[in-house]
A = this chain, B = another copy of it.
């Protein structure tokens, strides 16, 4: 791959092995985070747009509740933006459930063209990356990136019936009930350019499989994928960790975060002083008994929509590396004795 595609260098640049840098970086002009009760009782409570105490969100099941949460996240982001929904050209979305039913039934009444995505809990990164790429290329003025997860629907699908009350090891994470929606928009208008956080580069991750087979230790599965994409992002852009105010992973939890820091340290990259994990932040793990931390597509999406972009808006941070992390767990492949591979995508988000 050549370092620069001169033919299109007016709007973006494919750099190194896995990175695209935008010359005209798209902005996140609106966002919304809708979460469940437990997330609302956690330390990030004040940053969410809506906290819903009913686990089915007024619907008949957890799955329908997850879709309703997705619908509310999209509607809230659109309403806050002041745009009409007719101005949104694409929705890029996904969730953890088989055949993406959280997303499907959540987006269907918006009548907007859909790209359904799956990257487990990294899907928030995948949707924002592809959304930014489509906008920066001029295919759309505005797109919505949306992801969700729900504790009830995820546990039911991936582990045990909740009624069974199974024991959870300390390495286990707690699936966040939450959805984050983002309107990613063109910055041809300079007012938009200066008023909103922008996605300035994306590094797309590969599947990384260290052979872990423990579905109660998702952090250990995802940490190598996170290390791989962070390493490659820094390499492709010739950057150092201290050029970021924060390096923020999706849902490694406490266990996975330690592994990530160690893996990068072994490669002479030190991030311990600026690393943060959405899964560790979203719950008070001791008090809320969530063990290693939060997880799920909704974990980093709700944390980005709420807490992280707030800190970029108010100038606490100017430039972050945001790295949603996914463990590609399936009960079918797991029960057939396969490993659980990981994947992670990295985005540079800046605001001046």
Contact = CB atoms under 8 A, between A and B. Distances in A.
Interface in A246-273: none
Contacts of A160: none
A329 B99 contact: yes
Contact of A133 (B10, B94, B134): B134
Contact of A98 (B61, B89, B98, B204): B98
A166 interface: no
Interface in A31-84: 60-61, 63-64
Interface string A135-149: 011111100000000
Interface string A96-110: 111111001101100
Interface string A116-146: 1111100000100010011011111100000
A209 B97 CA distance: 19
Nearest to A14: B139
A137 B138 CA distance: 9
Contacts of A63: 332-333, 336
A274 to B, nearest CB: 25
- Which of A2, A118, A188 has the most chain B CB within a 10 Å cutoff? A118
A114 B332 contact: no
A10 B329 CA distance: 42
Contact of A204 (B8, B90, B100, B206): B90
Contacts of A119: 114-116
B117 A118 contact: yes
Contacts of A338: 64, 101, 105
Contacts of A86: 1
This chain: copies in complex: 2
A334 B145 CA distance: 26
Q: How large is the interface on A (under 10, 10 to 19, 20 to 34, 35 or more residues)?
A: 35 or more
A204 B130 contact: no
B105 A206 contact: no
Nearest to A113: B204
A188 B331 CA distance: 44
Interface string A315-338: 000000000000011111100101
Nearest to A153: B332
Interface of A: 1-2, 5, 7-12, 14, 18, 20, 24, 60-61, 63-64, 86-87, 89-90, 94, 96-101, 104-105, 107-108, 111-120, 126, 130, 133-134, 136-141, 157, 186, 188, 204-207, 209, 328-333, 336, 338, 341, 343
20 contacts: A1-B140, A7-B188, A8-B10, A9-B138, A18-B89, A63-B333, A97-B332, A98-B98, A98-B99, A99-B328, A101-B330, A101-B332, A104-B207, A104-B341, A105-B341, A113-B205, A114-B343, A115-B130, A117-B118, A137-B137
